[in-house]
């Protein structure tokens, strides 16, 4: 088989890029990859609705702290009234009827409430701390999402390029195998196997397309821009240097820095403050100072202006006879116990997540190394299979399977290394150490090239490489440069020694027995045998009736690319009226053409 010339190799390598570009063209937003992943993430953090909402929650909590702190400041109450006032003294005094006016100013100052206000203030400050931790957690989630999105996008681009290479490679080899069957040099089963592998590769390509589209959609949703062409992207630098050297160090950092644990700790402290608040509000008195000043005019039956001033200390002790305060205290205690249980559960969960994250990194890294080794082994197998193919020890389908296996192994290895990077960012998030500074730019992204298969095309045996299926632009098949002579029929009474049926000869041919030599359509049972139409066999088929020796496609033109008019089963009788100049094609009375290697003279 001919090897790809440089121009063809470039066209194949552009095929994956063209497909990726076509997928990007369906977007409605303008492509913009003027920044790397870190720059995009920094801009995203400034305008993402989830983070903006968390910032609003922080401001609301801060305002609530100011409100609760006001409980220690005095309250000023001003009350004014005007209206007609009539008074009739009970002892028979003078009756009055005047328009009275009053103004009362009251100043209340809390002196002590046995911890109620302080507990409420502590709860408000804890709520502010909780909202700030939630903001940090949301920020870490978005940074992790951004890192994962960038890594997965490049991973899916690579998988798509590998899948495209696999389909193109199998499609070429499938066409070659079908051509060999047409010319009598292959088996239908090999062609069916090739088509089966092609369907599997196309299914893998369809999944790769869907994965790329999904990755692009998530990229747009997160960054609000198109990712741009693959060649404009940059990979993320490996954050392995930030990870601790041992699992014990990871667990120590998780217990100190994990945001979920910190949120659970804040919840425990909040429940403790709630218990203090209940004791002060439901089971303790309240002490306060009151200063009051009154201005009166024609009020209370006294004509003229009056002023009153009062200053006092008050104590109130509300007590519900249904023991509501004690029930509230019991509820606060149970809430505190529940918060402590949640804290312990959060510690256990994050401990498990840290252990799983550490194990995920180790497992994915080992998996990536094994898959990388598999790719190297697949490449070596393919190299050896091509050599064996040259000597006839391998079938075309074996080499084709080797090429497909190599492409899939390379794709799986690249995917595995991307999973390692995602796992490292995930563990950093669990540790509470994931920050924007870790999203460092790596090398420029490159799609896998079409020549990654170290030669790409499948090597043919020396005797077979001379025969190539005719192009659809040719008027006739390419004449074979080497011919395989067919033994003539034995005369009656003549005898010939029977060669033993052994393994393959050095040239890849199977020994031919006398019984095989009697068959006009003589060729090896092995699909490796390089059987070609020969000029020696054509003269044996004269104008007249012939019979098909296998399924024969009747074509509109004397060439492999000619349209198939119908298929004739083995044993079908046809009438020949003409032949092509090289004798490889026979014209039938119906106007159709059939390859001469597929028929023999009719001995009716």
Task: Give which of 52, 136, 230, 222 is closest to 436, Cα–Cα.
Answer: 136
Give the β-pairing of 573-579 and 585-588. antiparallel
- The residue ranges of the chain whose pLDDT is under 70 are 1-35, 176-187, 449-543, 604
State if pTM tops 0.85. Answer: no
Predicted pLDDT at 184: 63
Both tokens assigned to 81: 């009234």
Q: In CATH, what class is 6-61+124-267+347-453? A: mainly alpha
Q: How many DSSP H helices and E strands does the chain contain?
A: 11, 13
* CATH for 470-487+524-604 (1.50.10.100, 2.40.128.30, 2.40.50.140, 2.30.30.40): 2.30.30.40
Alpha helices in 92-225, H assignment, sequence order: 116-182, 188-223
Cβ atoms < 10 Å from Cβ of 510 = 18
| Chain mean position to CA 44 | 20
Predicted pLDDT at 493: 41
Cβ burial, residue 255 (10 Å; 0-12/13-18/19+): middle
Distances (CA, A) of 408 to 374, 431, 441, 452, 489: 10, 35, 28, 12, 50
| Chain mean position to CA 413 | 15
Predicted pLDDT at 186: 62
- Residue 552 phi/psi, 5° resolution? -120, 130
Give CA–CA dist 521/516, Å, rounded.
9
Predicted pLDDT at 246: 93
Residues of each domain in the chain carrying CATH 2.20.200.10: 73-119+284-339
Residues of each domain in the chain carrying CATH 1.20.1600.10: 6-61+124-267+347-453
Predicted pLDDT at 24: 43
The DSSP letter of residue 73 is S
Task: Give which of 509, 487, 508, 506 is closest to 498, Cα–Cα.
Answer: 487
Place of tokens 């009598």: 184
Give CA–CA dist 283/126, Å, rounded.
24
The terminus-to-terminus CA distance of the chain in angstroms comes to 41
In tens, the pLDDT along 535-593 reads 333 334 556 888 887 778 888 988 877 888 888 888 888 999 998 888 888 999 999 98
The DSSP letter of residue 235 is E
Ramachandran sector of residue 114 (left: φ over 0; alpha: ψ -120 to 50; beta: rest): left
Yes or no: say if 101 and 298 are a contact pair by the CB < 8 Å rule: yes
Both tokens assigned to 546: 């012939």
Yes or no: say if 451 and 9 are a contact pair by the CB < 8 Å rule: yes
Task: Give which of 592, 485, 596 is closest to 550, Cα–Cα.
Answer: 596
Residues of each domain in the chain carrying CATH 2.30.30.40: 470-487+524-604
> Residue 604 contacts by C-beta under 8 Å, 6 or more apart in sequence?
545
In tens, the pLDDT along 143-181 reads 999 999 999 999 999 999 999 988 888 887 777 666 666
CATH 2.20.200.10 fits 73-119+284-339, yes or no: yes
């Amino acid at each position: 088989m001919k090897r790809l010339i440089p121009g063809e190799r470039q066209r194949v390598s552009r095929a994956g890029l063209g497909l990726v570009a076509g997928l990007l063209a369906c977007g409605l937003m303008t492509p913009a990859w003027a920044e790397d992943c870190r720059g995009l993430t920094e801009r995203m953090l400034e305008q993402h609705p989830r983070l903006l909402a968390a910032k609003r929650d922080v401001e609301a909590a801060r305002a609530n702290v100011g409100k609760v702190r006001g409980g220690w400041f005095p309250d000023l109450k001003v009350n004014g009234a005007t209206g007609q006032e009539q008074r009739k003294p009970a002892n028979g005094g003078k009756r009055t009827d005047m328009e009275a006016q009053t103004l009362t100013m009251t100043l209340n100052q809390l002196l002590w409430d046995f911890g109620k206000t302080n507990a409420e203030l502590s709860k408000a400050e804890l709520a502010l701390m909780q909202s700030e931790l939630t903001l940090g957690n949301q920020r870490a989630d978005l940074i992790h999402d951004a890192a994962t999105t960038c890594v997965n996008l490049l991973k899916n681009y690579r998988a798509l390029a590998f899948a495209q290479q696999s389909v193109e490679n199998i499609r070429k080899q499938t066409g070659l195998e079908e051509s060999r069957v047409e010319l009598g040099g292959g088996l239908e089963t090999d062609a069916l196997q090739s088509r089966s592998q092609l369907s599997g590769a196309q299914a893998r390509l369809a999944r790769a397309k869907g994965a790329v589209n999904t990755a692009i959609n998530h990229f747009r949703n997160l960054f609000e821009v198109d990712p741009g062409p693959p060649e404009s992207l940059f990979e993320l630098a490996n954050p392995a240097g930030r990870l601790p050297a041992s699992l014990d160090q990871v667990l120590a950092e998780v217990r100190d820095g994990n945001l979920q644990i910190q949120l659970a700790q804040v919840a425990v402290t909040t429940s403790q403050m709630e218990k203090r608040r209940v004791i002060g509000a439901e089971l303790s008195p309240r002490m306060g100072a009151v200063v009051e000043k009154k201005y009166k005019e024609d009020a209370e039956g006294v004509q003229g202006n009056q002023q009153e001033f009062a200053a006092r200390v008050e104590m109130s002790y509300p007590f519900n006879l249904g023991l509501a305060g004690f029930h509230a205290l019991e509820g606060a205690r149970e809430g505190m116990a529940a918060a402590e249980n949640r804290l312990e559960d959060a510690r256990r969960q994050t401990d498990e997540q840290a252990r799983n994250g550490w194990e995920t990194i180790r497992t994915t890294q080992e998996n990536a190394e094994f898959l990388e080794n598999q790719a190297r082994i697949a490449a070596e197998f393919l190299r050896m299979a091509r050599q064996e193919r040259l000597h006839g020890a391998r079938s075309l389908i074996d080499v084709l399977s080797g090429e497909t296996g190599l492409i899939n192994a390379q794709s799986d290895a690249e995917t595995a290394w991307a999973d390692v990077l995602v796992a490292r960012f995930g563990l950093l998030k669990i540790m509470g150490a994931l920050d924007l500074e870790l999203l460092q730019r790596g090398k420029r992204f490159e799609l896998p090239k079409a020549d990654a298969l170290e030669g790409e095309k499948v090597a043919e045996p020396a005797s077979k490489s001379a025969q190539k299926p005719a192009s659809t632009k040719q008027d006739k098949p390419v004449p074979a440069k080497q011919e395989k002579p067919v033994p003539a029929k034995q005369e009656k009474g003549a005898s010939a020694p029977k060669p033993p049926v052994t393994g393959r000869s050095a040239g890849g041919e199977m020994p031919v027995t006398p019984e095989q030599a009697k068959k006009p359509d003589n060729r090896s049972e092995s699909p490796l045998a390089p059987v070609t139409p020969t000029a020696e066999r054509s003269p044996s088929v004269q104008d007249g009736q012939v019979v098909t020796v296998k399924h024969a496609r009747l074509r509109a033109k004397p060439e492999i690319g000619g349209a198939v008019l119908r298929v004739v089963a083995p044993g079908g009788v046809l009438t020949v009226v003409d032949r092509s100049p090289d004798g490889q094609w026979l014209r039938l009375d119906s106007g159709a053409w059939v390859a001469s290697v597929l028929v023999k003279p009719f001995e009716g």
